[in-house]
Amino acid sequence: MATITFIEHNGTPHTVDIPDGTSLMQGASSHNVPGIEADCGGAMTCATCRVCVPAEWMDKTGAVSDHEIQMLAFSGQGGENVRLSCQIVASPALDGLCVHIPESQE
């Protein structure tokens, strides 16, 4: 279990408990966190589940696959410390993580 806080672009926080092995996207969606659209349901084809991860947490979020890098580049909305939340899997190592949701997932 990891307690994760999603912070909307307007600063509104949403703190949710996400079971181990569940993606942050799934956890956010099941708690109706606004701003995580996840159009593809985690198939890594939409890039509408982006979050910005604090630099000091990046190592704990796991390796970034080539496919994820390509999807972020294709979306034109990648950038430093931007991840697809469907590719970050909750674990005790992520307990306390705060991620920021972009203004738009366009």
CB of 55 to ligand FES, least distance (A): 21
Stretch that binds ligand FES, among 4-12, 14-22, 32-40, 98-106 (CB under 6 A): 32-40
Task: Indicate whether 38 belongs to the interface with ligand FES (CB under 6 A).
Answer: yes
Task: Please give the full DSSP string across 2-39, using - where no structure is assigned.
Answer: EEEEEE-TTS-EEEEEE-TT-BHHHHHHHTT-TT---T
Among 5, 16, 22, 42, binds ligand FES (CB under 6 A): 42
CB of 43 to ligand FES, least distance (A): 6
Q: From 89, 102, 104, select the one nearest 2 (Cα to Cα).
A: 89
What is the Cα–Cα distance from 37 to 40, expressed in whole angstroms? 9
Task: Indicate whether 51 belongs to the interface with ligand FES (CB under 6 A).
Answer: no
